[in-house]
Amino acid sequence: MEDNMRPMKPVGRYKTAYTIPNRDVDFMKRLRPGAMFGYFQDIASLHSENIGTGVARLANDFGVAWVLMRMRVDILRTPMLYEEITLATWPMVDSRILYDRDFTLADASGEVIVRGSSAWILMDLEKREIVKEKLFDYLTADFPSERALTEKPGRVRMPSSGKKIFDRSVTYSDTDYNGHMNNTKYIDVMMDSIGMDTLRESTPASIEVNYSREIRPGETLTLYKDDSLFETGRAIYADVRGAGNENLFTGKIVLRNSESG
């Protein structure tokens, strides 16, 4: 993501403007959910650099990295191909083990059309464990106290054990600088469980996800889906599991009728 609004000094609320390109939309010219999560990941990284908690400093000074644990995104309107948008993000300063960070996505008129809330942990890069002690102070404490959503992202549970959809290996294109499958790839896997006919008529209204354990290149993931509540609540649940049926990821998508593009 090109950051054409990068501030020179630390800021409490970080913003960047972006125009949605061809590679980030689906067959209906709508912004793909995985790409949207990628935008939020990118601006979180840019803001972390801005306030002194970026990738290089955390790795070099503390041997840790940010890892996403939970996220909820409510989509009031789906952004479209070539649409000009403005992303914003800010952290919550009272976080401890879980570091909360919120997001908004606004259209060219300034109307917020997507709202998101996330919870992150710090992972020890050598031990691959959660770090619980405080390691640093931000370069600024001037963060907004408002929340993008009224509720924090919570625990997502499948209504049943689900139906197996497919197996696939984790490969080079799935990985990020932490050496594991990037969080946005799970969104793509979950969306792949939904039929094209359904996605022609429907679009996500909300997505809520939990990340339980990392998966690394060479490992195999298995996707399970439960759509037993689709008729009553337009909800689809997905579980990504690893070796020994261990849970890696659980997600819930609530659909609504598509907007005209």
Q: Report the predicted TM-score, pTM, of the whole model to 2 decimal places.
A: 0.92
Within 6-164, residue ranges assigned H as helices are: 33-50, 55-57
If phi over 0 gives left and psi between -120 and 50 gives alpha, with beta otherwise, what is residue 147?
beta
The rounded distance, in Å, linking the Cα atoms of 16 and 89 is: 9
| CATH code, domain with 119 | 3.10.129.10
The residue with greater pLDDT, 140 or 122, is 122
The rounded distance, in Å, linking the Cα atoms of 36 and 79 is: 9
Q: What is the pLDDT of residues 46-104, one digit of tens each?
A: 999 999 999 999 999 999 999 899 999 999 999 999 999 999 999 987 667 889 999 99
Extract the tokens encoding 101: 């960070």
Exposure class string for 236-248: b at 16+ Cβ within 10 A, else e:
bbbbbbbeeeeeb
164, pLDDT greater than 50: yes
pLDDT at 260: 55
Same domain, 135 and 147: yes
Same domain, 140 and 224: no
Same domain, 122 and 189: no
The rounded distance, in Å, linking the Cα atoms of 23 and 26 is: 8
Same domain, 26 and 108: yes
139, pLDDT greater than 90: no
Same domain, 32 and 141: yes
The residue from 154, 182, 204 where one domain ends is 154
Q: What is the pLDDT of residues 172-214, one digit of tens each?
A: 999 998 889 999 999 999 999 999 999 999 999 999 999 999 9
Same domain, 160 and 147: no
- Greatest extent of the chain over all pairs of C-alpha atoms, in Å: 51
Q: Nearest to residue 193, comparing CAs of 156, 219, 230?
A: 230
Same domain, 112 and 228: no
Same domain, 25 and 138: yes
Same domain, 92 and 19: yes
Distance of CA 2 to the CA centre of its chain: 19
pLDDT at 204: 97
Same domain, 118 and 13: yes
109, pLDDT greater than 80: yes
The residue from 99, 128, 154 where one domain ends is 154
Count: domains in the chain? 2
Same domain, 33 and 123: yes
Q: Could you list the residue range(s) of the whole structural domain that residue 198 is in?
A: 155-261
The rounded distance, in Å, linking the Cα atoms of 236 and 202 is: 12
Range from 61-70, 138-147, 160-169 carrying the lowest mean pLDDT = 138-147
pLDDT at 261: 45
The rounded distance, in Å, linking the Cα atoms of 252 and 80 is: 22
Same domain, 62 and 130: yes
pLDDT at 1: 62
